Homo-oligomer: A and B are copies of this chain.
Amino acid sequence: MRVYRVVQFGLGPIGQEIARLAATRRSYALVGAIDIDPAKVGKDVGEVIGLPEPLGIPVRSDAEAVLAETKPDCVLHTTGSSFRQVFPQLELIVRNQANIVSTCEELAFPAAQHPDLAAQLDALARQYGVTVLGTGVNPGFVMDTLPLVFSAVAQQVTAVRVERIQNASTRRQPLQAKIGSGKTVEEFQALVKAGTVRHVGLRESVALLAAGLGWQLDGYDETIEPVLADHRIQTAYFTVEPGQVCGVDQIGRGYVDGKERITLHLKMYLDADPAYDRILLEGPMPLELVIPGGLQGDRATTAIALNAVPRVVAHAPGLVTMVDLPIITAQS
């Protein structure tokens, strides 16, 4: 069995969980850890990610030196949602000849918003002989890859509708804060304007679906509304009174020939019940698929990022998306 040498780049909540998984699964060896947080730099990564034993690997901020010294098969990159912002990091990794699996949301289909930058990264990846993939649960799986895989058994698909209803009460504090828990409607609208409550990735999922189905998108729009509490909600981190915001209701819509043929509906709010993911493929013979309870975001994202490593390492060089790779499966 091959063991993949990986470096964790970014030790926020997702990065920490990926590093924990990588350190404990036999298919992977964690050989380096990169972060710029002064509270983490210099500490043993085992301590930072909550393992009982140190791993003998200090967290370092000098990314280039870590990559040059450890020469990993793949870097697990988890530092941000904006492709433009993380581009210099991706470029650095590629120039150090390491493959990349990143949870950067816009990297799930980077050509959707940044075609020039995507082409530049693709050329660089080919030049250095490495493969770059953006993935995660959403974007990367439940609203794009899974509906596409499901479409294989459809004789004809005329529209794709996905609903993802997530119960935020069971999630970590930053996520509960990010969805506007406890805010007034006015405060929520100000946060939407500032771009801080928005889930990033619906547009990328719509583009990935269209590409996978061979559809030519001629429009995209997105709405974000607050979900208001209809009862007093108490979580480990927030108390929300009736009428206050308890989450976000976001819809991305893709148009083909002027018709809304892709609808991705994400509701993430406190006390959501039932929570579920649901895929509907419309057509002469509609197909429905349900994940009762819904995929837990952090767990699913960390899993797919790590499970993607063997496919990314084996693939021909370049910037790829989930529709380019053979199916990704759980690794030992």
Instruction: List B contacts of A302 (CB < 8 A).
Output: 155
**A300 contact set on B, CB distance < 8 A:** 153
Residue A29 is within 8 A (CB to CB) of chain B in the complex:
no
Which B residues lie within 8 Å of A289 (CB)?
A: 289-291
Interface size range on A against B: 35 or more
Q: Is A59 an interface residue (CB 8 A)?
A: no
Instruction: Name the B residues within 8 Å of A1 (CB-CB).
Output: 214
Tell me the nearest residue of chain B to A283, going by C-beta.
Answer: B330
A293, CB-defined interface residue at 8 Å? yes
Instruction: Say yes or no: is A148 at the interface (Cβ < 8 Å to chain B).
Output: yes
A149 within 8 A of B: yes
- Whether the pair B149, A149 counts as a contact (CB closer than 8 A) is yes
- CB atoms of B212 and A327 under 8 A apart: yes
Which residue in B285, B292, B303, B326 is a CB contact (below 8 Å) of A324? B326
Contact B153 A295 (CB under 8 A): yes
B residues within 8 A CB of A153? 137, 141-142, 295, 299-300, 303-304, 307
User: Could you mark each residue 313-328 of chain A with 1 if its beta carbon is under 8 Å from any beta carbon of chain B, else 0?
Assistant: 0000000001111111
Complex-state Cα separation, A300 to B151, whole angstroms: 10
* A234 on interface, CB distance cutoff 8 Å: no
Chain B residues closer than 8 Å to A39, beta-carbon distance: none
Q: A136's closest neighbor in chain B, by CB?
A: B153
Within 8 A of B (CB), among A195-242: 212-214
* A36 contacts chain B at the CB level, 8 A cutoff: no
State the CA gap A291–B280 with chains docked (Å): 10
Most B-side CB within 10 Å, residue of A137, A142, A153, A300 = A153
Q: Which of A109-161 contact B (CB under 8 A)?
A: 137, 141-142, 145-146, 148-157
Binary CB contact string for chain A from 27 to 56 against chain B (1 if under 8 A, 0 otherwise): 000000000000000000000000000000
Contacts of A137 in B (CB 8 A): 153
Is the beta-carbon distance between A285 and B292 smaller than 8 angstroms? no
What are 30 pairs between A and B in contact, CB < 8 Å?
A1-B214, A141-B153, A145-B152, A151-B329, A151-B330, A152-B304, A152-B328, A152-B330, A153-B299, A153-B304, A153-B307, A154-B303, A154-B330, A155-B299, A155-B302, A156-B330, A213-B330, A213-B332, A214-B331, A287-B295, A289-B290, A289-B291, A290-B290, A290-B292, A322-B327, A323-B327, A323-B329, A324-B326, A325-B327, A327-B327
17 additional A-B residue pairs with CB within 8 Å, beyond A152-B328, A287-B295: A137-B153, A145-B327, A149-B329, A151-B330, A152-B304, A152-B327, A153-B295, A153-B299, A155-B302, A155-B306, A213-B329, A214-B332, A289-B291, A323-B329, A324-B326, A325-B326, A325-B327
10 shortest A-B CB distances, which residue pairs? A151-B330, A153-B300, A152-B328, A157-B330, A155-B303, A154-B330, A212-B329, A148-B329, A152-B304, A290-B290
